[in-house]
Amino acid sequence: MDELVRWLGVQLDEDERIARAVQWEGSGNRLSWELAASATVDVGEDEFYAGDRTIANHIVTHDPARVLREIDAKRRIIAEVVPEARKAEAMIHEEWGSGSDTAGDLLRLLALPYADRPGYKESWRP
């Protein structure tokens, strides 16, 4: 379970690095993402073609500020459930037999969106 938690932390760090890279040089202000009438996304001083409105809507909805909020929420969830997951793991490995591993299941679910990244183990799949 500790390996999963470490691996998941690396994935969140990478997502954060990418989201934080989308900032104005020097000012530290985030780009303002707006959906133009066409299939372009307005990112402040520039626009770029996003294919069609569906893709543009997706890009705008998942702007860097939202990604950073999601990362923060996931880290808080992990901090809350890791102690319970460790307790459940210890109980399962003792002679008491099987026990409920709801916290471990939650960690595996948090890792699932990253299943296509290197290092993901199929044994973690919920």
Q: Give me the pLDDT at residue 33, please.
A: 60
Q: Give me the pLDDT at residue 16, please.
A: 92
CA distance 122 to 81: 21
Percent of residues in the chain assigned helix, strand, coil, to nearest 5: 60, 10, 35
CA distance 56 to 39: 6
- What mean pLDDT is predicted for residues 15-23? 81
Q: Give me the pLDDT at residue 64, please.
A: 82
pTM: 0.74
The residue type of 41 is V
Residue 55 CB contacts under 8 Å (≥ 6 apart), including other chains: 39
The residue type of 62 is H
Query: Over the chain, what is the mean pLDDT?
Result: 80
- What mean pLDDT is predicted for residues 9-22? 89
Q: Where are the domains of the chain?
A: 2-26+63-124
